[in-house]
Structures are given as C-alpha cells and as structure tokens.
Amino acid sequence: MKNYIYKISFFIALLVGTVSCNIEEIVDLNGPESTAFAESLTRGDLQDLIGGVLYSSRLRLGTYYDDCGVIGREYWRFSGSDPRFTTDLLGGQNSVLDNNTFYITGPWASRYRTVKNANLILGFFDSQDLSGQFTQQEVNAARGLLNTFIAYELLLNLNLTNEGGIRLDVSDENNLGPFVGRTAALEGIQSFLTEGASQLNNGGGSFPFSLTSGFAGFDTPGTFRQFNRAIAARVAAYQGNSGAVLSALNESFLSLNGDLNTGVYYTFSQDQTDIANPLFISAGGSSEAQARIVQPLFVSEAEAGDTRVAGKTIQLGETITLDDLTGDYIVNRYTSLTDNIPIIRNEELILLYAEANISGNSGEAVNALNIIRNSAGLGNYGGGTDSASLTDEMLNQRRYSLFAEGHRWIDMRRYNRLGDLPLDRPDDDVWSEFPIPLTENQ
Amino acid sequence: MKQNNLNYRVLLFLFLFPCFVFAQNTISGTVSTDAGEPVPFANVIEQGTSNGTTTDVDGNYSIDVGSLPATLVISSLGYETVERAVTSAGTVNITMAESAEALEEVIVTGLATSIKRSNSANAVASISAEKIAGTTPPPTLDGALYGKFTGVVINQNSGAPGGGLSVRLRGVTSIQGNTQPLYIVDGVYVDNSSIAAGLNAVSAAAAGGNSAALLQDNASNRIADLNPDDVERIEILKGASAAAIYGSRAAAGVVIITTKRGKSGETKFKFNQSVGWTEAVNLLGLRDYTESRVLDTFGESAAQDFVTAQSQGRIIDYENELYGEKGIHSITNFSMSGGNKDTKYYASVAYNNEDGIVRRTGYEKLSLRMNLNHKPKEWLDLSLSTNFVNSSSDRGFFNNDNSGTTIGVTLTGTTPWLQLFPDANGVYPDNPSGASNPLQTRDLVTNNEKVNRFIMGGSATIDIFKTDKQSLELILGGGLDVYGQQSRALFPKELQFQKPANGGLNGVSIQGDTQNKNYNLQGFLVHNYETNNDINFRTQLGATRLFFDQNTQLITATGLVASESNVDQAANTGVNQTRAKVEESGFFIQEEINFQDKFIATLGVRGDKSSNNGDPNEIFYFPKGSLAVNLNNFGFWNEDSKWDAFKIRAAYGEAGNIPPIGGKFTSYNSFSTDGLLGISLVGIKGSPDLAFERQKELEFGIDLGFFGGRISFEGTYYIKTVEDLILRSALEPSTGFTTEISNAGELENKGWELGLYTIPVDTDDFLWEFGVNFFKNTSEITQLDVAPFNIGAFGATLGTYRIEEGRSATQLVGIGPNPDESGFQVFGDAEPDFQMAFDNVLQWRNLELKFLWQWKNGGDNVNLTTLLSDLNGTTHDYDTIDLDPSGTLGNGPYRLSQLGSSAEVFIEDASYLRLRELGFYYSVPDKFLDGLLGGAIDGVRLGFSGTNLVNIFDYNSYDPEVSNFGGNTAFTGIEVTPFPSSKRFLFHVGVNF
C-alpha cells in the first residue's frame, strides 16, 4: 500500500514541479527579431541584412513599372483578375485613382520597407562598438551604400506622388517626419546621395559584403560611387539643374562611346524565396487574361528602321481586346522570368548628358543624341538645334531607348507635356500623380 | 494492511476537516443494477430529512436513520430513482434500473466535476450518441452539431471531401485571433489546425496584395479525424460564463467530447455498414446561349464555333462534366464493449471511403479506438483512451486564384462550345479561352493530405479520504495528441499552365510535412462536504500545464524532371519551415455551495500564463460566479403539480483568447536575391506587450418543465463583451510597416437562445418527440483604438467586412451611391437575423423516422463566383432580367455595370432552409432473430438516411455556406469558386450481437 502512496506523492510532486516552474520565454522560432543585431552585429549578419535590402528593393516593382508604363501610355496592362489596370490607371469612364488600392499602396509600402531595412542597419552601426568586427572604412562604405539605396527608394515613391511629396525622415517609426513637397523632397534625396557619396569616398577598397551580379562592375565603394553619382544626375535633371547634371555625370560611369547597357540592374531568379522578373509575360501566355499590350502609337510613330521597336516588342498573330482596348504587339523588353531590369544604365546617362547640354552646348547635345540614334540603326539627327526641337528629339529618343523602364510618364510630366500623351478612349484621363496612400493619414 | 492504509489516509487528512460520527438505527446493503453490477456513489437519502450518504465503489452503503419505519430514496446518475420503505434496521439490497433520460441528468462543466443539469446556472447544451450519429452518420464530427444547439453557428468552408468547417459560439469572439472553440476529447486538448498545402505557389491567390495566402488553400480541419460513431456525448460551453474554468483558451467556447466506454457484463458487438452516394446540392447550369448573344459577348469567331458545335450536338455543360459525379460512400463501424467489475473496455474500428462529386477527389479514413477502465483498488480508478487515425483526402484544386488555374476559376470562363476532352492518345488540348483546361487539371493535378494521428488520454481518480459526510478525491490526468500530416500537391509539366511556352513553371511538386505534438497535464483535488442541514460544499483546486508544438516544412519544387514528383528532381527547390510553440500554465480554485438544491452558488477563479504573452510569466486571472434558484424545490406547489422544474439562473465569467503565435515579435524573414541570401522585414510590427483578449460574459436564464418531462423550455439571454481585442491595425506605410498587432478594441455580443422540447404523443405503439430551438445574436464594436479598417475580403469595390466603432462586427460594406461618413455604404451583415431548428423523432412499433430541419434567416455573403462568371459572360442568369431597376439590362450586364460604382450586387442574402438530417429505420422484430445463430443476435436494424436532402435558398451560387478564407476567421461567407457542396444518401444495416 505504501507503494501507492509513494506513487501518488510522486505524481503530486511532479505536477507541482511542472506548474511551479516558470514558463520559458520563447523567442521567435521562425526568423530573427529586428532587435537581434542591436548589440552584436557580425560580418555574416551584415551580409544577410544587406541581402535583405537588395531583396526588398525589388518588391512590387512590377506594379511600379506598370503604373508608370500604363499612365505614360507606353503599354496597357491587361489583367483578367484585376480590371483596375484598364479602368483606374487609364482614367476610363468615371474612374479615378484611389488612395487605398494596390497600384499605389503596394509599391509605396515596399519602398519604405526597404528604407526601414536600411535604416535599421544604420541604427545597428550607431548602437554598438563595431571595431572588433569591421574597420572604420568598411562601416563608411556600408553607410554610403545604404544612403544611396535610401535615396533611390525615396525617389521611386516621389515619382508616383510627385507634388504630393513624400516623408524624408522615417528613421524613427514612432516619430515620423512630415510630408514634404516635390522640390524639398528632391533636395532631400540629393543630400542623402551627397552624404552617401562622401561616405563611399572614405570607404576604402572593398565592401565588407558581396552584392548580386546586378552590381557587377559597381561592387567596390569607388565604383559604387559612380552609380551613386549617376542617380544624382537623374535627380538633378528632375530638379532642372543642368549644371548639377553635368557635374554628377562627370563622376558617374557615363561613357559616350561605351556599351549602352553598362549599368546597375535588379536581378531575379526562380529560386523559391526569390522574386521572378515581374514584367515578363511570354507571347504564348498573353491573352486578355494577362498581357502587356504595346500602345499602338509606339509602333506607328517610330522612325522607319528603328531597331528598338523590333527589339522591344513582338507582334502577335491576332489582336487582343479588353475593355475597348485593342492591340497586337506585346512588350518584349524583358524576355524571361530571370531577365534583369535596369536601375540605371549608360544609355540613360548619355541621354541625360544630351538633355543637360541642350541649352548650353547644343552641338554636344546633338552629338550625344546621334550616338543613341546610330545605335538604334537610325541616321544622324537632322532637325533644328534650337532648344525646343532638341528637347522634342531628346524626349523622343528617351521614349524609345528607355521603353518600359519607367521613364516616359515622368519625362512628359517634368516637361509639362502630359497633355501630349494619347487618350485611347474618349473618357480617359492622364493622371499627373498618385494620391498619397490613405493609411499615411494625410 | 488495509486497516493500516485507512489509518494512514485518515491521519493524512483528518487534521484538515472535521468529522462527525453518529450512532443510530443502521440500515446497510448493496445497490446494484438489474444485471447485478454494483452502483457506486449512488445517493441514499432518508426521505423528508437531510440525512443521507452515498454508496462506495462496490455499491455498499450504510445509513443511520432517525426512526423506523423510514423511506430511503436512492438516486444515481443514469438510473431511475428508487424509493424503498424500510421497517427495520438491517440489510436492504436495492436494484436500480437504468434511466432512459440518463444523459439529461448531469452535465460536465468543470475540469474535474460534473453538475446535475437541474442545478446548473448555465445553459450548457449536451447531445448524446443518438443525436450525434443516430439519424445519419455526419460527414465529420463537427458536422453533427448543425441545428442541435442554440447559439452555435456552423459554416462549411467548401464541399471538398474530408471536412473543413468553422464553429462559432455566440457570435464573433475575436477579429484577428483564434475564433474556433477549444476541443477537449476525454481530457485531451485536441488540435484543430488547418494546415495549408502551399498551393499558392501555383494559384497565386495571395498576389495582388492579399496576404491571406495560406487561408485560401482549402485545407481541412483536424477535428475531421475523430470518428463520430465513437462519441458518447458532446457538451458545448458557449461562452466565458460557463467556460471560465478553462481560462485563457476558452473565449471562443469549449466543446467537450466524451467517447464511449465499456460496461460490465456480457460482451456486446455492434456492426454497422452504410453504403450510399453523394451528389451536388445545386448546380447552376448554362447561360441561355443564342447565336446573337454569343456574337455579342464573345465576338465573331466564337459565334461561328458556337453554331458549328450546336449543329454537331457538341454543346457541353462543363459544370456538369466536372461537378456532376455521384461519389460512392461506404462507412463501416465495428465496436466491441464489455468487461467486469474491475475492468471495462470499449474497442472500435471504423473505415470510411468517400468519393467526392469531382472525379479524383475523396476521403478515406481508418480509425481505431481502445478505451479502458480499470479499478485495481477500491480507492483507485484508472481510465485510458487511445485513438489512432489514418486518413487521406484528395481535395482537388479550387478557390481563389490569380493565375486562372484552379478548376473553379477556370470553369467561370469555359464556354460550352469549347472542345477540351483529350484525344485518342490521351492528350488534352490547350484551352483557347483560358490559362488552363479544367478537365486536364482535374485529371492530372494531385492535392492530397494524409494524416497519421495518435490521441491518448489517461486519468487516475484516487479517493484519498471518504466518510459519509465528506470525501476528498485526487484526480490526475494527462493527454497527448500527436500527428504527422503530409500534403502532396503535384502539378505535372504537361498541364497547360505548366508548359513553359505558356509561361508555366514546367511542373510543380509541393510537399508539406507537419509534425504536431500537444500534451497536457492536470491535477485536481475535489473535496465534498455535506452539513447536517443539507448544505453541500464542493471545493476544487487544480493546476494544468499545456504544451503545443507544431513544425511544418513545406518544399516547393518547380521545373520537374520528366514525370518525377520527388522534390530533388527539379530545377528549383524552395523550403519553408514554420514552427509554433506555446507553453501555458494555469491553476484554478472553485467553491460550489448547494443549499438543499434550492440555491446553488458557484464562485471560482482561474489564473493563467502563456508564452505567447508579452510577459510569459505574468498571471492573468479569470473569475467566475453563478447562482441557480430551483423554485420548485421550495414547496410552493405540491408533489403532484404539473410543474417539474422552475429554475432561474444567472452566471458571470471571464475567459481569454491567446494572442497569435509570434504576435509579439517584429522579425525578419529570409529571402534570396539572385542567389544571395538576405533578411528583410515583412511589414508586420509586433507588440512586445501583447496580452490575452479577455471575454466577459453575463448570462441569465429560466428553465421550465411541465407534465412529467413532456414539455420543457429553456430560455437564455447573454451579454458578452470582448476586451483587449487583438487587431492588426494599419500603420503609416512610411514607417516600413503596414500593420501592427496590438490589443486595441472592444466588442459586444448580445443574444437570445430559446429551446422547447416536447413529447406530444407517447403511447405503447407510438412516440413523437418534437423540439424546436431559436437563437439570435447581434454584435457591436464598442471601442476601437485604431482607425476603422476593411478586412476579410477583396476590398470595398467588391464588398468587404469593415471594423468600425458603433457598428456590427460583421457588417458588409462597399463603395456605393450613398456612402456614409466613412466613405462606404453598408449593404449587409453576415450575422443571421435568427436561426431555428426543428427536430422530430417518430416511432411506431419497429419503425422510426427522424428528421431535422435547420433554418438560417438572413446573414449575407459576398458572392464573387457570380462576378467572375459575369466577367466571362458565362453566368447562368446572364440574360435574365430581374435585377436592373430599369428593366433593360440582363443580370450579367447589370452586375458588370455596377462594378466600380457599387458593391451592392455582390453582397447577397445567404438565408437557407435545409433538411439537415433524415433517418428512417426498421428494427427487425426479435421473433425473426431468435432462430438465427442460436439466438446470438440481439438486434438487426435496416434503414435509409440522408444529409442535406432538401436545400432551399435564393442565393445565386452553389451554396450559401461557404468560406474562401477557411474556418479560423470571423469572416466567413466570402465566395470565390469553391468546391460545390453536396448532399448524401445512405442505406444502412446494423447488427448487434
């Protein structure tokens, strides 16, 4: 009998034992917490964190490019599962752009997420003594890269909201900075770039991490700085400051006689945790359910013999119609699920060089435009060399050279020429900007 | 030795409690059943006094009466009460008959104890085996609850074989936390997960910004594993006032399931075989195509195809082709039970094989159970339940997608003049008007879930101490629920949408493996103390410890080699692992005071801590209190009054709902960029000080009974508030986060529950039992600390749920011509106006007819199946003109004309009236059986039964019961091309021997 009593006592003891002991704090089992690196950041951690910035910089890019491409009348986006590409974005009938719909909320939040990923890393640099892990130069180099990324991500959001502006200071999520208008935003973006460039200057010979193949040739602090300056040249062009464009180009990788495709790219793969190129739809897979149909004037208005048309589009066997829009060319700028998308490349830099020289050195502008024309199989420019004619020509070359790379809408807007974009249906509208997302509570 | 033992025990506890002993006229004896088994713990009371005792485990009693002659009243759970006049002291043995209404008598409400129904202060509903599976075998155990309880709303997510139901008790209890009740089977906390198979890799249902990816995979829920035929009784604690003792997991209610156990005596064998078929409840049919309509909608070449097909008699109803199958069902149950005084057992085998209404879908289950009770010593009672389940379900490829690949979505764009059948070589043509050929998808895609599950529960009840006035019991228990679930989805490369030329991935194989291990330990002390003036005190003290551990690995391989399905035979492989681990610890104390069965009061408190809380060691307290007053025990009316029962009751309690796993963390997720690993935030900000949602419920009720149980009525009103609602609120996206998880709101549910049960006719030959129940719930968001937000659907253009202070928690809003100040117009509410059920049992001699009607009145759905069909011009009512107020547009064009300006047409009334269950049985009279096998056969029953045989609804799709986002959400009723629901016809033969 005593046996039983002992056994019972054992059970009670076991029970009391299990209950009285504390519940262990369970950490997140499925991923590192955002505070995990605040006190000890290793080289391996920094590599992963930088990899995260590269990853999130590509989130919802397809939506961003479709926003720019559709409103800029480069192409139409057909989607069987979402009619708003052909209603809201084209301003069909009474449709307007909504402030709580994927076309603005998706890319907007993704760009700011990348900014947050970058700001967290900058915070980790500030919160600890890193001398055991990194040299000061390596930290400088990383800071320079991150500030360049922050500037570029902010620029993409500003491209969507334009005069509506963006928040520049978002480093403290509990105390966000105010929205600033376009002019102040562009200045703010330039100062991130300037700060980044000077940090890269003091960044030594190499980064303490590796980058993707999209940065081939730009993967040291010195060469990455050329990329930083290329972005600065674009921003300066948006600011209308030709002098600043030229001085930034001077420190960039501009090469008038170089390969037009030299530059920095987003890269993609079909790895399960990666993103595939969001802008590729094959000819066979194009139907009214999903397609990017080239706006017909892009083909019909092209100069005879322009190889860029044939290179960037494919004619289908039959037309596809959706929502009163009919076309038979699809966008072929990107040719596979793993094709790269340019962030900035030499062809744009040459065009920026031409643009910045129009008022001060029209000969140099014509020279640069001819480089572009010749590369597309066209003869030299024969039109007037006054500012207006050269601007027309420059915008036209940008239209074909940078097709489906997110520029047409922004270019026409900064030259106040949105009214020149074609309306495909009588009640369509060309929007000048997206509303600020609802949840920004503006 | 024995004496020694008693001393030991008395010594151990004597100092705790006073003990009284009186010497009077002593009557003693044994209480036993008709079969001679002892009846333990029967109450033996001297009539007209408060003097009484209970029998021991062997049925022995001894009582000292004040004077002789006296009348003893012997009562026990499950037996008819016996009154025996005794004239002299000495031995009086008593035989008790089993009660027909045994189950009504007692309800399990506590963790360790039960209470007589007549004394309960809560409206606790219970149903017995007969009601669970007696009319017709329910497809899954949760499906057996339809219409049988007030306040219980059950919704089927899809018609796919193998289950997938949600159960909601007394309204919405959580917006973004768990909404499903806690299931406890024989003391084991049983997991009810729905584990997604990762089909999003193909369907891309979550693209376009809808993050509820995994919910749209049409997964089954794991309660489907339990065999309904094994269940003896189900009790439902609907809200905190009844469930407070279950603490932090009880806010969504508790479903307590008790399985069958053996009885001592002759071994009983039961064999039941059911065979039948299932078919679609409702197919929509073809649009009324004419050449001009085809020309108008689809253009010239389609019109030519249509004319050609028509002339060749090749107009094919693909809906019927896909959903028109009759699936054969076979259900086999065999059980064996018996035992002796010390050891009793119940063992069962069940095998189900059920084909779906879509070819290559189906459900197969093998369930083995062994329940054992053993009493090695008179003071020790051991109980063991074990259940092994092996199930396999083929669920097809349905629900929302953004790739035009699921069967449902593709069907909406499939016109009847297309030729999609394979040629003589078995090669399927590509569907020229869609991304996939639905016949090919049906015939080649595999989506299978396999489960191997072991559930085991054990308890030991130890009588530490017992006198005629008091007793102390120690109850120790534990439970284990272990399962492995495999999901295998295979999309071969020859599928239209897998061909690289069509932008496909060249074959996808998705393999998921989940290991789940839950275990719980508990210990209780129960002290009963009875005073001389008939006031009983029952004190309970207990502690529980819970552990949950789930690990899911999902491997997605694309670019398959040849016809291989192994995930390493592929160009690209991705792995995803999700772990969920929770530890909880709780204790409770409860005091129950019973004053002469007139006033029964209960007070208790539970304390809980959970690793999911911001501070895992902070204890949260959940108090409860209740009072029941039995007015018919006051002697207001005399013994032969028509009043059997008149009880008024009130109960208050609090319970919690644990925060979502990981809700307190702001974490990185890992990704890759062109081969380079990276960790990125995912847009969700955790809340380090996240805490339980807390539910507070106050319930009032009245129970009446008349005419010896022929009429009884139960009415309950409740007010239930949920504080600290866990919400994912929108953050300014420029923070880098789009949502934050926090405790930020409060909601309230109020409702009525009425039940009337009658026996209008009860003669020797004919019995008619009739029950009707009615319930209604309304909810309101009473406080919202975050901005109002849309949730649970596809946005305001198409109609969405919206959480807004001062509004119903389940309102459906959308864009519309007359928006209110929020910018949206309210078009409906998912909450039904009321629900009713009518239950009938008719018996005439050897014939038995039972049927259950269930009526849901009101409650709206968002019907996007119709929208998708309209967009493709294929809707069955596309040309009917009865929606357009101006009477000019057909329904299809009218609905499309509203797209973008009003969501009204997508929000539809989802009322229904169903003949849920019908059973008709014939018991073969004994005289025909006597000669068989030497009379060894005790009974043979033949019958026919059905589920959902009659379905009446106006809803413009397959079934108003649907949920694209699965079961664990407050927001069911969103429809996107589901697996259509089905009705079932079964023939039965049952033999007892």
* Nearest residue, CB atoms, A112 vs list B556, B571, B736: B736
**Residue scoring higher pLDDT (A423 or A273):** A423
Tokens of B516: 């789940």
Which residue in chain A has the smallest CA separation from B198?
Answer: A272
| Domain boundaries of chain B, sorted by first residue | 23-99, 125-262+270-283+324-397+445-792+832-859+910-992
- Half-sphere exposure of residue A393: CA atoms within 13 angstroms, side-chain side: 25
Are the C-beta atoms of A422 and A295 separated by less than 8 Å? yes
Q: What ipTM is given for this predicted complex? A: 0.89
* Cross-chain residue pair A115–B736, CB shorter than 8 Å: yes
At A262 the pLDDT is 97
Q: Do A12 and B616 touch (CB under 8 A)?
A: no
Gap between the Cα atoms of B464 and B60, Å rounded: 18
Summarize the confidence of residues A352-373 as an average pLDDT. Answer: 96
* A4 falls within a domain: no
What residues of chain B lie within 8 A of the CB of A210, using their CB? 676
pLDDT tens readout for residues B878-937 = 999 999 999 999 999 999 888 878 899 999 999 999 999 999 999 988 888 777 777 778
**Could you tell me which residues are beta bridge partners of residue A77?**
A292
Is A15 within 8 Å of B523 when comparing Cβ atoms?
Answer: yes
Residues paired with B783 in a beta bridge: B746
The answer to whether the CB atoms of A272 and B558 lie below 8 A apart is: yes
pLDDT of residue B665: 84
Q: Are the beta carbons of A31 and B572 separated by less than 8 Å?
A: no
The class (CATH top level) of B125-262+270-283+324-397+445-792+832-859+910-992 is mainly beta
Of A30, A83, A114, the CB nearest to B579: A30
CB contact under 8 A, A285 and B503: yes
| A12 in any annotated domain | no
What is the count of structural domains for chain A? 1
Looking at the complex, report in whole angstroms how far the Cα of residue B205 sits from the nearest Cα belonging to chain A: 10
Q: Are B972 and B978 in contact (CB under 8 A)?
A: no
Residue A405 lies in a domain: yes
For residue range A366-402, list pLDDT tens digits in order. Answer: 999 999 999 999 999 999 999 999 999 999 999 999 9
Instruction: For chains A and B, count residue pairs whose Cβ atoms are closer than 8 Å.
Output: 257
> Which chain A residue lies closest to B575 (C-alpha atoms)?
A272
Task: Identify the pLDDT of residue A12.
Answer: 58
Identify which of A77-86, A194-203, B541-550, B795-804 has the greatest average pLDDT.
A194-203
Nearest to B673 among A167, A274, A284 (CB): A274
Q: Which helix (H) or strand (E) holds B865?
A: helix B864-871
Rg of chain A over CA atoms, in angstroms? Answer: 26
For the stretch A284-333, pLDDT in tens is 888 887 899 999 999 999 999 999 999 999 999 888 888 889 999 999 99
Q: Does any domain span residue A96?
A: yes
- pLDDT tens for each residue of B571-589: 888 888 888 888 889 888 9
A contacts of B552 (beta carbons < 8 Å): none
pLDDT at A16: 52
Instruction: Write the CATH number for A254.
Output: 1.25.40.390
Residues of chain B with C-beta less than 8 angstroms from the C-beta of A167: 734
Are A439 and B730 an interchain contact pair (Cβ–Cβ within 8 Å)? yes
- Given an 8 Å threshold on Cβ–Cβ distance, is B1 in contact with A1? yes
Which among A12, A25, A267 has CB closest to B523? A12
Closest residue of chain B to A290, computed from CA coordinates:
B403
Domain B23-99, CATH class in plain words: mainly beta
Residue ranges making up the domain that contains A55 = 43-279+337-424
Residue of A99, A274, A323, A427 to mutate, interface with B, max B Cβ within 10 Å: A274
Compute CA distances B981 → A123, B135, B281, B323, B675, whole Å. 54, 20, 6, 10, 45
Chain A contact set for B573 (CB, 8 A): 272
Residue of chain B nearest A106, judged by CA positions: B209
Q: How far apart are CA B741 and CA B612, in angstroms?
A: 13
Greater pLDDT, B686 or A207: A207
| pLDDT, position B22 | 39
Closest residue to A273, CB basis, from B504, B521, B672: B672
Please tell me which residue of chain A has the smallest CA distance to B506. Answer: A270
Residue A423 CA to its chain's centroid (Å) = 27
Identify the sign of the CA torsion B126, B131, B133, B138.
negative
Chain A hits for B298, Cβ within 8 Å: none
Q: Give A252 or A40, the one with higher predicted confidence.
A: A252
Measured in angstroms, the CA of B942 and the nearest CA of chain A are apart by: 50
Smallest Cβ–Cβ distance between B617 and the set A22, A109, A173 belongs to A22
The per-residue DSSP string of B211-264 comes to --GGGGG----GGGGS-GGGEEEEEEE-SHHHHGGGGGG-TT-EEEEEE----S
Residue B681 phi, psi dihedral angles, 5° rounding: -65, 160
Residues of chain B with pLDDT under 70: 1-24, 35-36, 77-78, 98-112, 204-219, 400, 402, 638-639, 967-968
Interatomic CA distance for residues A131 and B77, integer angstroms: 77
Does A291 reside within a domain? Answer: no
Q: Which residues of B touch A439 (CB under 8 A)?
A: 730-733, 738, 787
Residue type, B511: Q
pLDDT band per the 50, 70, 90 thresholds, residue A6: low
Chain B residues near residue A82 by CB distance under 8 angstroms? 208
pLDDT score at B274: 94
